[in-house]
């Protein structure tokens, strides 16, 4: 089983956790760590480390944007804690997170491949379809 952590700017993590609870029910293996205005990068690192240190499972940290502080601190932990299996994904969205929760029992590498596919395929643009209008010459038949 994979331990899931969600982190991002402001209340990104707790907001997604709230949605997950509504959609799938409470998830014990899912923890949200918000990076609020009052926190430093070191504060965030400390909070992430607390969640990871006492657990023996593989860890998957899901972040909002690549290159942002939550992503950077997660990557830093991955490099510092080489004795742990820690993976980091940026660009997390709700469909990706739902898949992560539903498939957390998979081996972490296989799960990550699946999540990257789901996350990228879940982005779409709505396009209105043009309705077929009845022919003006209906009384002429075929």
Mean pLDDT in each 10-residue stretch from start to end of the chain (142 residues)? 94 96 84 97 97 86 98 97 94 96 92 95 92 65 62
How much is the pTM? 0.87
Domains of the chain are 2-122 (3.40.50.510)
Assigned token pair, 47: 């909070």
89 forms beta bridges with: 62
Distance (Å, whole) CA 94 – CA 19: 8
Cβ atoms within 10 Å, residue 37: 6
């Amino acid at each position: 089983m994979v331990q899931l952590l969600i982190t991002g700017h402001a209340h990104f993590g707790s907001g997604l956790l709230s949605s997950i609870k509504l959609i799938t029910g409470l998830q014990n293996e899912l923890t949200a760590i918000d990076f609020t205005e009052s926190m430093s990068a070191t504060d965030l690192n400390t909070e992430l480390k607390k969640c990871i240190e006492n657990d023996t499972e593989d860890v998957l940290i899901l972040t909002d944007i690549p290159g942002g502080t939550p992503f950077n601190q997660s990557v830093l932990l991955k490099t510092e804690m080489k004795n742990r299996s820690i993976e980091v994904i940026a660009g997390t969205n709700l469909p990706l997170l739902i898949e992560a929760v539903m498939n957390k029992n998979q081996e972490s590498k296989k799960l990550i491949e699946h999540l990257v596919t789901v996350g990228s395929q879940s982005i779409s643009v709505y396009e209105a379809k043009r309705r077929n209008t009845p022919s003006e010459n209906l009384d002429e038949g075929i």
